[in-house]
Amino acid sequence: MDGLAWRQFKAILRKDIVMELRTREMVTSMGLYAILTMVVYQVALSEAGASLDVRLVMPGLIWVAFIFMSLLGLNRSFVHEKDQGCIEALLLAPIDRPVIFFSKFTGNLLFLLVVEVLSLPVFSFLFLQEQQGIANPVWMVGLVLLGASIGISGVGTLLATISVNTSGRDIMLAVLFVPLMYPLLRAAVGATFAAVIGGPASAALFWGWMAWVAAFDVIMLLVAFALYEFVIGA
């Protein structure tokens, strides 16, 4: 990345962060969705009784919430660019399209991570009993969050760019995003399960799933990088 591209990257990212700090549209909508989902989970599991080890279902519950929560944020990530015609001004500037992709991707990743990090303690408070801690070090869960969020933001930024020009963009993004997320969702649930439950084979299981997460991230970021010029100009 040359000097101008780096300055352009920082300018778009800074602008997105400043606007999000002022409007709080993405973080608020994602955060509210996460909390409401947890309340619904609590009601859904209320008859399971004390015999249920929540840790067995926790990874799946968390990642289902995070996938759908991220849809809300991604849907909004291009709204400001589109509504006042700013996307045209960006496209007419001497800016490489991958710079636009990486700056929007980084912004989406930051906002997603903020909401995920804030919602996990709420989840623990609502569901985990005192004796039901996380078996492995917490950084392992953090690593899954980071790895999976990179994939979600990368694919999501590409698809949000495609869907912003379509009528019914909310539905369009969901229809494209959820099927593509299936391999990442499976790997993230597997890695989170290994981190939470522990046991003698958990380290091998964890790193095996993390390899899947990393492979998904690399492939999808390369695909998004290669396609972005075509997608944003369409």
Partner 1 sequence: MPVLVARDIVQRFGKQEVLHGVSLGVEKGEVLGLLGPSGAGKTTFVNILAGVAEPVSGTVDAFGERMPSLELMRRMGYMAQSDALYYDLTAAENLQFFGAIYGLTGAALKRAGERALDTARLTVDPRKFVRDYSGGMRRRLSLATAILHEPELLILDEPTIGLDPLHRVDIWESFSRMAENGTTIVVTTHVMDEAERCDRLAMIRDGVFIAIGSPRELRERAGAATLEDAFLHFARAETAQADREQATEHAAPEAGGRDA
Binding region for partner 1 (CB under 8 A) out of 78-86, 113-121, 143-151, 175-183: 78-86
Q: What is the closest distance, in whole angstroms, from the C-beta atom of residue 82 to partner 1 in the complex? A: 10
Q: Quick check: 84 binds partner 1 (CB under 8 A)? A: yes
Q: Report the run of H or E that residue 219 belongs to, with start and end.
A: helix 202-233
Nearest one of 38, 205, 210 to 127, comparing CA atoms? 38
The reply on whether position 23 binds partner 1 by CB under 8 A is yes
Shortest distance in whole angstroms from residue 228 CB to partner 1: 14
Contact flags string 86-125 toward partner 1, x per CB under 8 A: x-xxxxxxxxx-----------------------------
- Residue 168 makes contact with partner 1 by CB under 8 A: no
124-156 core/surface letters (b: 16 or more CB in 10 A; e: else): eeebbeeeeebebeeebbebbbebbbbbbbbbb
Q: How far apart are the C-alpha atoms of 92 and 99, rounded to whole Å?
A: 14
Of 58 and 164, the one with the shorter C-beta distance to partner 1 is: 164
Least Å distance between CB 48 and partner 1?
Answer: 45
Instruction: State how far the Cα of 171 lies from the Cα of 17, in Å rounded to an integer.
Output: 26
Type of residue found at 162: I
Asked if 231 is part of the footprint of partner 1 (rule: CB under 8 A), the reply reads no
Q: How many residues bind partner 1 (CB under 8 A)?
A: 24
Structure tokens at 146: 């980071």
The secondary structure element, H or E, covering residue 182 is: helix 169-197
Segment interacting with partner 1 (CB under 8 A) among 15-23, 117-125, 144-152, 218-226: 15-23
